Amino acid sequence: MNTNTFRCPAAMERRGFLKGLLAAGAAAALPGGLLTARNAAAAPFDPDAYQVFRNACPRNCYDTCSIKTYVRDGVVQFVEGAPESTYTKGALCVKGYSYPRRLYSPDRIKYPMIQEGRGSGNWRRLSWDEAMDRIADKILDLKQRDGSLLGLGLTKYSGNFGITNYGVEGMMSSLGYTTRFVGTPCWPAGIDAQNYDLGDMWCNDPEDMVKARYIIVWGANPAWCSMHSMKYLYEARERGAKIVVIDPVFTQTAAKADVYWRVKPGTDGALALGMARHLLDKNLVDLDFALNSATGYLEFAAYLRQNVTVEWASEICGIPADDIRSVTEEFAAVKPATVWIGYGMQRHTNGGAMVRAIDAFVAMTGNIGVEGGGARYGQMQTWGFNYHAMVQKQPEGSVGFSGATGPKGEFDFAGESNTAYSDRALNINKTAQEILDAKDPEVKMLWVSCKNPFAQDFDRNKLEQAFAKLEMVVTVDQFFNETVRHSDIVLPVTTLFEEWTVNVSYWHYWLSLNEQAIRPMHEAKSNIEIAAALSRAMNQKSPGSCTFPQEVDGKEWMIQEFNKGIYDYFGISSWEDLRNGPVKAKLSSSASWNERKFLTPSGKYEFRSDLCAQNGFKALPEYVPVREATAPFRLLTPHVQFGLHSQFINLDWMENFYPEPFVYIHPEAAKAKGIGDLDRVRVSNSIGEVTLRAKLSTNVARDCLVMYEAWFRKLAFNVQNVVDDCAADMGAMKTGAPGVAIHDQFVDIAPAG
């Protein structure tokens, strides 16, 4: 990989309210008791009394907020959204405002610890040296037994997207060729779909949604998952736009819409095709775009005429035909009009096909490459860093996997040295099955970082079996979660306030510095300091066995991630400019694809994609039915408002907002099952069960149940007991593994008795 030209998309596809809140009470809970509730509330705010640091929320979130952190006497007192960013605009979400509590939580993992008997809860404190000794011994033992390090697996995903944290992948490369869990449980089917159609995933600047005159939010819930984007939807509406939300669940976003369509899950492809057919029937197609900037349009139109009617679509997706017609006509009548394609929508066995059908509908209306328009999904234009921490060389003589190399995740982590060997790639979306099946060598040791498999991976019972096979599990984390419970050694990692890094978003176009604001708490180390500590232990025992630098300076390593491309793209001359606040990319247009030069093989928008056909799918964005039901109720397990996956809800502050999970069931379905509001119920299917209380709600359909994914520190609640690892259609081309059909799950429900 040429790091100078590294560019994910082309190269490899991929504020005072709080002061009041904290000063008024919460600050009293902070260490040192520097502010009492009474004197803080009375004292006028004096910014000069604080040292201000720049931080960024590194979670896997659209908003990736720029944070201003106020420190006094070495203690983070409060945080606010950076006012310099027009996107964050001085505000954080409730999770962001809870950061000081997370940082100072008494529940944090404080020291390296070893569990005598996995799952026993019999934890004992270790020194860093002893922990690293044990880990290094095990790694060397594997090498000796297997002749390679393929018995060592890494599972890492989105706990912290700070760029220097790709040093975890770098650490693995610096040991040799290992086993990597590749792909993403998040958005891969849609990534491939947009690559087939457009040649890359590249969305408009979300701030330009204010220009849109018609907005369809299709299977996304920004009121919860991208709350800063909501202001653009509201402003667009103030300027006259109409907003349609399409979701099987009447979400908070839907509650804000002009039109809400309760679509049957997994049928959005049929709906989009029905809308496309209606464009044809009413001569509403932008023929200039369809014929001159696209290929395959006539063939697609013929497919629509032969196979699709609005009534057919209506029958499948459950939206009345006349409603489909009227929204289609309204969407086509104004320009710009845009669709926000959500990640939730593509987590189906036909997710990629559905995204292609929606892309096609937007393309037919000529809204691709248009400011305020677009089929918006995500972007990785802003991610052109050096990946200095990630790119590490294997030690001389490393033996690895001699199979074919291919894309290995959203980022290629193989490093610069290219020998006949490579890492062994296993599918992250089938972690349990892959561990159970791996042979020659078996996966014997697992390093878990920025990942909580027991909360976020699929088929939890099978994951228990898979972990039982492992000889050693090392987990690097901040809290004693369920994955830590299934580990032998746990290593405490820093939070964003305790380390240097840099952050960008996969949605907006802002760049944020993350400065170390305080000294690390307890004995926490950053992910790259952990790698350096491991390298010291490895080299002491076996000189040359690990190439990772044995000392790292976090700030220097952050600086090493910058290059001229990044500086030019963001219009800065040094990373130090970011100390004045986040900066936005200097975009020549807020529209992606504004030159209509697509990165597909034909250079045009491809209604017909031969590449897609070569990869085993339909060349045209045809209708593909969704997974068939295997139990009476469809289960959706989408993202929760007060947490981000398994993060935040474990904090006592957040428990006040969200003390327990519920399964949401339609009142008529509940009545038929003899279930009353707030009754305890059992939700089960062939792979497992969950017991919790039910809430009756007409926000869900009669044949659908909703449980939001979350980790509670005191409750044995886990949606993954009933979510299997069935694959989505697309994703393998650009991310190394297909997505996962998270929302194609079927369960039954009964009173818990």
Ligand X SMILES: Nc1nc2c(c(=O)[nH]1)N[C@H]1C(S)=C(S)[C@@H](COP(=O)(O)OP(=O)(O)OC[C@H]3O[C@@H](n4cnc5c(=O)[nH]c(N)nc54)[C@H](O)[C@@H]3O)O[C@H]1N2
Give the binding site for Mo ion (CB under 5 A): 186
Of 636, 654, 638, which is closest to residue 479 (Cα–Cα)?
A: 654
Binding ligand X by CB under 6 A: which of 22, 35, 54, 62? Answer: 62
- Of the two residues 201 and 476, which places its CB atom closer to ligand X in the complex? 476
> In sequence order, which residues have a C-beta less than 8 Å from that of residue 312 and are 6 or more positions away?
270, 274
> In sequence order, which residues have a C-beta less than 8 Å from that of residue 272 and are 6 or more positions away?
354, 357, 358, 360, 361
Q: What does 501 interact with, of Mo ion, ligand X, none (CB < 5 to 8 A by kind)?
A: none
- The CA distance from 109 to 96, in Å, is 20
CB of 186 to Mo ion, least distance (A): 3
CB of 3 to Mo ion, least distance (A): 26
Binding ligand X by CB under 6 A: which of 35, 103, 233, 345? Answer: 345
427 binds ligand X (CB under 6 A): no
Please choose, out of 103-111, 325-333, 338-346, 355-363, the segment that lies near ligand X by the rule CB under 6 A: 338-346
727 binds ligand X (CB under 6 A): no
CB of 639 to Mo ion, least distance (A): 8
Q: What does 507 interact with, of Mo ion, ligand X, none (CB < 5 to 8 A by kind)?
A: none
Of 30, 54, 345, 66, which is closest to residue 186 (Cα–Cα)?
A: 345
Binding ligand X by CB under 6 A: which of 104, 157, 480, 712? Answer: 157
Edge-to-edge strand ranges of the sheet holding 510-514: 501-504, 510-514, 583-584
CB of 658 to ligand X, least distance (A): 11
Print the SS3 string covering 589-634: CCCCCCCCCCCCCCCCEECCCHHHHHCCCCCCCCCCCCCCCCCCEE
60 binds ligand X (CB under 6 A): yes
528 binds ligand X (CB under 6 A): no
Write out the two tokens for 674.
């003899």
- The CA distance from 635 to 631, in Å, is 10
- Of the two residues 286 and 457, which places its CB atom closer to ligand X in the complex? 457
Q: What does 512 interact with, of ligand X, Mo ion, none (CB < 5 to 8 A by kind)?
A: none
In the chain, the amino acid numbered 343 is Y
Q: What does 452 interact with, of ligand X, Mo ion, none (CB < 5 to 8 A by kind)?
A: ligand X
- Total of residues contacting ligand X (CB under 6 A): 60
527 binds ligand X (CB under 6 A): yes
265 binds ligand X (CB under 6 A): yes
Q: What does 712 interact with, of ligand X, Mo ion, none (CB < 5 to 8 A by kind)?
A: none
Binding ligand X by CB under 6 A: which of 392, 647, 685, 718? Answer: 647
Rounded to 10°, the helix 297-307/268-281 angle is 100
159 binds ligand X (CB under 6 A): yes
Write out the two tokens for 409.
């995740």
Of 661, 697, 700, which is closest to residue 681 (Cα–Cα)?
A: 661
- Of the two residues 63 and 200, which places its CB atom closer to ligand X in the complex? 63
248 binds ligand X (CB under 6 A): yes
Q: What does 181 interact with, of ligand X, Mo ion, none (CB < 5 to 8 A by kind)?
A: none
Q: How far is CA 241 from CA 333, 377, 560, 682, in A?
A: 12, 20, 44, 44
Cβ atoms of 266 and 350 closer than 8 Å:
yes
Binding ligand X by CB under 6 A: which of 456, 512, 516, 718? Answer: 456
Binding ligand X by CB under 6 A: which of 128, 343, 510, 633? Answer: 343
Given the DSSP bridges, would you call strands 51-56 and 66-72 parallel, antiparallel or unpaired?
antiparallel
> What is the number of the residue whose Cβ is closest to Mo ion?
186
256 binds ligand X (CB under 6 A): no
359 binds ligand X (CB under 6 A): no
Region 173-212 residues binding ligand X, contact defined as CB under 6 A: 185-186
Binding ligand X by CB under 6 A: which of 636, 670, 692, 696? Answer: 636
Binding ligand X by CB under 6 A: which of 56, 233, 249, 316? Answer: 249
- Of the two residues 84 and 744, which places its CB atom closer to Mo ion in the complex? 744
225 binds ligand X (CB under 6 A): yes
Of 623, 696, 701, 635, which is closest to residue 260 (Cα–Cα)?
A: 701
- The CA distance from 564 to 575, in Å, is 11
For residue 358, what is the DSSP state? H
Binding ligand X by CB under 6 A: which of 208, 412, 709, 729? Answer: 709
Region 458-517 residues binding ligand X, contact defined as CB under 6 A: 476-479, 481, 493
Ramachandran bin of 568, using left for φ above 0, alpha for ψ from -120 to 50, beta for the remaining angles: alpha
- The CA distance from 555 to 458, in Å, is 37
Cβ atoms of 79 and 69 closer than 8 Å:
yes
Strand partners, 79: 69
> In sequence order, which residues have a C-beta less than 8 Å from that of residue 744 and are 6 or more positions away?
265, 266, 347, 348, 349, 626, 627, 634, 726
353 binds ligand X (CB under 6 A): no
CB of 539 to ligand X, least distance (A): 22
637 binds ligand X (CB under 6 A): yes
Give the sign of the dihedral formed by CA 567, CA 569, CA 571, CA 577.
Answer: negative
Binding ligand X by CB under 6 A: which of 293, 641, 699, 735? Answer: 641
Of 460, 458, 464, which is closest to residue 728 (Cα–Cα)?
A: 458
- Residue 395's CB is within 10 A of a number of other CB atoms, namely 22
Contact track, ligand X, 113-152, x by CB under 6 A: ----------------------------------------
Q: What does 217 interact with, of ligand X, Mo ion, none (CB < 5 to 8 A by kind)?
A: none
- Of the two residues 187 and 331, which places its CB atom closer to Mo ion in the complex? 187
- The CA distance from 717 to 686, in Å, is 18
Residue 299 φ/ψ, nearest 5 degrees:
-65, -40
105 binds ligand X (CB under 6 A): no
Residue 244 φ/ψ, nearest 5 degrees:
-115, 135
Q: What does 638 interact with, of Mo ion, ligand X, none (CB < 5 to 8 A by kind)?
A: ligand X
452 binds ligand X (CB under 6 A): yes
Cβ atoms of 478 and 495 closer than 8 Å:
yes
Please choose, out of 155-163, 189-197, 372-380, 513-521, the segment that lies near ligand X by the rule CB under 6 A: 155-163
Please choose, out of 280-288, 391-399, 415-423, 640-648, the segment that lies near ligand X by the rule CB under 6 A: 640-648
Please choose, out of 130-138, 260-268, 398-406, 588-596, the segment that lies near ligand X by the rule CB under 6 A: 260-268
Binding ligand X by CB under 6 A: which of 163, 220, 651, 747? Answer: 220
554 binds ligand X (CB under 6 A): no
Given the DSSP bridges, would you call strands 337-341 and 375-376 parallel, antiparallel or unpaired?
parallel
- The CA distance from 208 to 363, in Å, is 18
Ramachandran bin of 372, using left for φ above 0, alpha for ψ from -120 to 50, beta for the remaining angles: left
Binding ligand X by CB under 6 A: which of 743, 746, 747, 749? Answer: 743
Write out the two tokens for 355.
């995204």
Binding ligand X by CB under 6 A: which of 206, 638, 661, 739? Answer: 638
- Of the two residues 186 and 435, which places its CB atom closer to Mo ion in the complex? 186
> What are the E-state strand segments in 613-703?
633-636, 662-665, 680-685, 688-696
158 binds ligand X (CB under 6 A): yes
CB of 170 to ligand X, least distance (A): 14
- The CA distance from 636 to 697, in Å, is 14
263 binds ligand X (CB under 6 A): yes
Given the DSSP bridges, would you call strands 424-427 and 123-125 parallel, antiparallel or unpaired?
unpaired
719 binds ligand X (CB under 6 A): yes
* Direct distance between the N- and C-terminal alpha carbons of the chain, in angstroms, rounded to an integer: 59
Q: Which residues of the chain form contacts with ligand X (CB under 6 A)?
A: 60-62, 157-160, 165, 185-186, 218-221, 224-225, 246-249, 251, 263, 265-266, 268, 342-345, 348, 449-452, 455-456, 476-479, 481, 493, 527, 636-641, 643-647, 709, 719-720, 723, 742-743
